[in-house]
Amino acid sequence: MRPQSLTPLFAQVTSLPGIGPRFGKLVEKLAGPLVVDLLWHLPFALIDRRNAPEVAGARAGEVATLTVTVDEHLVPRNPRQPYRVWCSDETGRLCLTYFNGREDYLRKLLPPGEIRVVSGKVDLYQGEVQITHPDHVVPLDQRQSILRVEPLYGLTAGLTQRPIQKAIAAAVDRAPALPEWQDAAFLARNRWSDWKSSLGSAHAPTEDSDLAPLHPARARLAFDELLASQLAIALVRHHNRTLSGRATKGDRRLHKATLGALPFELTASQKGAVEEIAADMAKPERMIRLLQGDVGSGKTLVAFLAMLIAVEAGAQAALMAPTEILARQHYATIAPLAEATGVRLALLTGRDSQKQKKETMRGLADGSIDLVIGTHALVQEDVEFADLALAVVDEQHRFGVHQRMALSSKGQAVDLLVMTATPIPRTLMLAAYGDLDVSKLTEKPAGRLPIDTRTLPLERLGEVVEGVGRMIGPSSISPGARAYWVCPLIEESEEVDLANVEERFTALSARFPGKVGLLHGRLKGAEREATMAAFADGRLSILVATTVIEVGVDVPAATVMVIEHAERFGLAQLHQLRGRVGRGAAKSSCLLLYAQPLGETAKARLAIMRETEDGFRIAEEDLRLRGAGELLGTRQSGLPDMRLADLAAHGELLQAARDDARLVIDRDPDLKSERGAALRTLLYLFRRDDAVRTLRAG
């Protein structure tokens, strides 16, 4: 049960003063539905209102707090004119300007003849000192409430600073004093305050330096979040490790037959990965291993060899992919190898006919099917295995933890291999998986040529179209060559004037009739597959697509990748898309078209793409340029959603949190000690309830 002390923080935001149902919806969109969500919404800037000159000394462009007498209201005859209120002190006149000002409201706020304290940004208009829409107007006896440094918070449409500042101040007031969960020596070494004081300081910055990620208050809160995350991962892994596993050992006969059927040698890192997986599967504990391999590094083959170990041991294996296109692609790669080794392989997707589905399910249940490849159709309740020993999950960041667990639960102590083609920087690896066992595929298969990457302004679009035409034309050097053309959006969006897919498809179809296909996420599965098949077998030469082709589409004859508005894509995504070409023996090129002028980050991003094809280096650069939050699109990625920790700035703290979590698990795996009880509170505070449930289940 969540500790009683945290109850006030887990109330709805609408329980805070000034937040009714309408504001509540906006606050929920901004930070989250609960009071605790507002605690994690830290200020990004500050306004210093302590500058209190006389009117004559107020300088344009500065924020000033002025004490003045209200002289007269000038009500506009025309509603398009501004409403002006003239005020003064001994040194000069001040004009307060309001657009669409309501007279009854402003006369009440600024009664003529009375003294008011006003604060806002000063500007000069026709030589007169002016403040347009002052931030604060209060009577003289409330002057001290304004003369302070004010935190500024990120907003969403419909919200202003005042209600958010008020709500967050109330949320901070509600925060209880909690037992200390940090290691005492570590706390003293960093000179950090307790949790509640740090929270108060983080929301009351007085200098710009107080906003820095490594400021003691912010660093303490970031470490709390990282520790909660690392401890949760460590607890779940400890629990999984203590569950009895099974030792799955193969005799290598199918392994040898497969290698004999391959027209090439495995790369050194493929061999290494297979050995690491085989060693893990042979142990009595459950395997949880991540196979990280850059685009085109041969992960599917490694997965197949791992699956054969299960078959050699008399059991079954399953591979789950996030999309039907990808599942069918894996099937196409693996089917000839399975046939050569006499292994019975099946495909299971949501679009199979009822008859086909029943047949596959019968084969899985009675053990006559050794290997199955499928989409999340594999985790449906009525799918049963005779003896599932290994589950392989591809592009694992596209699945929730529950889907991974659901597949693992289809057998007894199932070993789990998760694969990703998205190289994850080491810091993010730690944040997401603690110290998960990782196998990395670092080389490309033999015979793959480097991809020629160029950046061009969109003004040269015409030349690019002509170039693509020459390449796919009858007189091209490599007949049958194909090109991808990627656009960022599906249909015209008024806010974003982007080349949309439909429009580009129409334009290219007019230029190359009958040669262009269209692929995006809103097409029905059957349409998408028909288009992909036509592109793969050469009936279509150009495929205009959104990023649905980012993962796993494999057409060796495709040698050109054109990406429009490349400046709008993240580095990891550009790298994934580029990896769709260069998969055959022919020379490939990637053209990144950008709109001018380019910002600094976009410039740096495109420069890295030209310099290197090393996905791991690209991932590290992406983290440096964009920070973790944006890099992950955290909500979709299955990686933790960090609110206080900035993985680019807090890398060392992450390492320390991981070490501390390991130590805790070694000494007090059930969190029974005094510090253990405080750490349980920390897990609940950061909503890592799953980890606490593991404790109870264990």
Q: Using CA atoms in the order 525, 526, 527, 529, what is the torsion angle rounded to 10 degrees?
A: 80
pLDDT of residue 443: 79
Kindly report, residue by residue over 657-684, the tens digit of the pLDDT: 999 999 999 999 999 999 999 999 999 9
Cβ pair 47, 150 in contact under 8 A? yes
**Start and end residues for every CATH 2.40.50.140 domain found in the chain:** 50-147
Tokens of 698: 């264990």
Rounded Cα–Cα distance for residues 529 and 291 (Å): 28
In the predicted structure, residue 149 carries a pLDDT above the cut 60: yes
Q: Quote the percentage of the chain above a pLDDT of 90.
A: 59
Side chain identity, residue 97: T
Max mean pLDDT range (444-448, 453-457, 517-521, 582-586): 453-457
689 or 369, higher pLDDT: 369
Domain boundaries 452-612, corresponding CATH code = 3.40.50.300
Using DSSP's 3-state secondary structure scheme, residue 44 falls into coil
Cβ pair 346, 360 in contact under 8 A? yes
Kindly report, residue by residue over 176-234, the tens digit of the pLDDT: 999 999 999 999 999 999 999 999 999 999 999 999 999 999 999 999 999 999 998 88
User: Cis bond leading into 322, ω under 30°?
Assistant: no
Using DSSP's 3-state secondary structure scheme, residue 377 falls into helix
Tokens of 441: 């595929």
Mean pLDDT of 551-566: 82
358 or 245, higher pLDDT: 358
In the predicted structure, residue 552 carries a pLDDT above the cut 60: no
Mean pLDDT of 630-648: 58
Mean pLDDT of 531-538: 88
What mean pLDDT value characterizes the chain?
A: 87
Cβ pair 38, 202 in contact under 8 A? no
360 or 426, higher pLDDT: 360
pLDDT confidence of 339, banded at 50, 70, 90? very high
**Start and end residues for every CATH 3.40.50.300 domain found in the chain:** 253-441, 452-612
Task: Tell me the CB-side half-sphere exposure of residue 629, using CA atoms within 13 A.
Answer: 7
Task: Point out which residues pair with 122 in neighbouring strands.
Answer: 131
| Level-2 CATH architecture, domain 253-441 | 3-Layer(aba) Sandwich (3.40)
pLDDT confidence of 628, banded at 50, 70, 90? very low
pLDDT of residue 624: 74
Neighbours of 199 (CB within 10 A): 21
Q: How would you classify the pairing of strands 83-89 and 115-125?
A: unpaired
Q: How would you classify the pairing of strands 136-139 and 115-125?
A: antiparallel
Using DSSP's 3-state secondary structure scheme, residue 564 falls into coil
Contacts of 438 (CB under 8 A, 6+ apart): 289, 290, 291, 292, 429
Kindly report, residue by residue over 86-131, the tens digit of the pLDDT: 999 999 999 999 999 999 999 999 999 999 999 999 999 888 999 9
689 or 206, higher pLDDT: 206
pLDDT confidence of 498, banded at 50, 70, 90? very low
Mean pLDDT of 57-71: 96
Kindly report, residue by residue over 277-296, the tens digit of the pLDDT: 999 999 988 888 889 887 67
Kindly report, residue by residue over 423-466, the tens digit of the pLDDT: 777 777 777 766 678 888 887 776 778 899 999 999 999 999 99
The answer to whether domain 50-147 has CATH 1.10.3720.10 is: no
List the 415-420 sheet strands across, edge first.
345-348, 371-374, 316-320, 388-394, 415-420, 288-293, 437-441
pLDDT of residue 626: 63
In the predicted structure, residue 648 carries a pLDDT above the cut 60: yes
pLDDT of residue 399: 59
Q: Which residue has the tokens 């399975």?
A: 338
Mean pLDDT of 58-67: 96
Mean pLDDT of 579-586: 83
Cβ pair 46, 205 in contact under 8 A? yes
Strand runs (DSSP E) across 270-374, as ranges? 288-293, 316-320, 345-348, 371-374
pLDDT of residue 633: 35
Q: Which residue has the tokens 């008859």?
A: 355
Cβ pair 272, 298 in contact under 8 A? no
Q: Computed from CA positions of residues 446, 448, 449, 451, in that sequence, does the dihedral angle turn out positive or negative? A: negative
Q: What are phi and psi of 312, to 5 degrees?
A: -60, -30
pLDDT of residue 638: 40
Identify the helix (H) or strand (E) that includes residue 92.
Answer: strand 92-98
pLDDT of residue 478: 60
Which long-range CB contacts under 8 A does 122-127 form with residues at least 24 apart?
A: 122/58, 122/59, 122/60, 122/61, 122/62, 122/63, 122/64, 123/60, 123/61, 124/60, 125/95, 125/97
Tokens of 104: 């009854």
pLDDT confidence of 352, banded at 50, 70, 90? confident
Mean pLDDT of 57-84: 95
pLDDT of residue 495: 43
Q: What is the DSSP letter of 12?
A: B
Q: Is 496 exposed, middle or buried (0-12, 13-18, 19+ CB in 10 A)?
A: exposed
Tokens of 405: 């667990």
Cβ pair 439, 292 in contact under 8 A? yes
Kindly report, residue by residue over 593-627, the tens digit of the pLDDT: 999 888 888 888 899 999 988 887 888 787 777 65
pLDDT of residue 18: 86
188 or 519, higher pLDDT: 188
pLDDT of residue 371: 97
Mean pLDDT of 338-348: 95
Neighbours of 366 (CB within 10 A): 10
Cβ pair 132, 153 in contact under 8 A? no
pLDDT of residue 497: 38
Mean pLDDT of 512-521: 88
Q: Quote the percentage of the chain above a pLDDT of 70.
A: 91
Tokens of 127: 């030589």
